[in-house]
Amino acid sequence: MSEALSNGGRNMFLGEYSYTIDHKKRLAIPSKFRKELGKKAIVTRGLDNSLVVYPAEEWEKLAKNLGNLPSSQTEARGFVRIMLSGAAEVNFDKLGRVLIPDYLKEYSSLRKNAVIIGLYNRIEIWSEENWQSYKARTEKEVGNIAERLKELGI
């Protein structure tokens, strides 16, 4: 499995992990991620029926930016509302698990099996089924990775 990478003093999240949510809504966060998250983190609604977890500081920055969005961008404003209103502060129990509120579980179709992926400066939580189908679909669509990488100058 992967881990949090050092990046100029900052660490980043990478990799894909599978966990189960028990009947008490507890979900384990990969230990490598936990170290980066500190004591508390923010969970909220994300794109494509995922949930997003931000370290507290990241969230501060993001929330500030979101609030300052030009009101001309109406669609963006809609999503911002969803994100902000869905935000929940989660804290870890001694074993590094968080509680996922019901409305977020529902939003992301989380049942028993969850997948947690690291995305550089944030973490996403997916239901197993959603992630598998999304991954398969996207791997196909993304297709020519080489082309893309070239565009990125790699």
List interacting residues with a second copy (CB under 8 A). Answer: 1-5, 7-8, 12, 14-16, 42, 45-48, 56, 58-63, 65-67, 71-72, 75-90, 99, 101-103, 117-121, 124, 134-135, 138-139, 141-142, 145-146, 148-149, 152-154
Token digits for 8? Answer: 């100029």
User: What, of a second copy, DNA, none, does residue 103 touch, CB below 5 to 8 Å by kind?
Assistant: a second copy
Report the candidate in 19, 15, 13 with the shortest Cα–Cα distance to residue 1. Answer: 15
The nearest distance, CB 29 to DNA, in angstroms, is 7
Token digits for 39? Answer: 């004591």
Nearer to a second copy, 102 or 112 (CB): 102
Residues in the chain: 154
Point out which span in 16-24, 42-50, 74-82, 134-142 binds DNA (CB under 7 A).
16-24
CA–CA separation, 59 vs 152, rounded Å? 27
Other Cβ atoms less than 10 A from the Cβ of 23: the count is 6
As beta bridge partners, residue 52 has 44, 124
Collect all residues with Cβ–Cβ distance below 8 Å to 100 and sequence separation of at least 6.
21, 25, 27, 43, 51, 90, 110, 125
The nearest distance, CB 43 to a second copy, in angstroms, is 8
Residue 37-76 contact track with DNA, rule CB under 7 A, x = bound: ----------------------------------------
Residue 78-97 contact track with DNA, rule CB under 7 A, x = bound: ---------------xxxxx
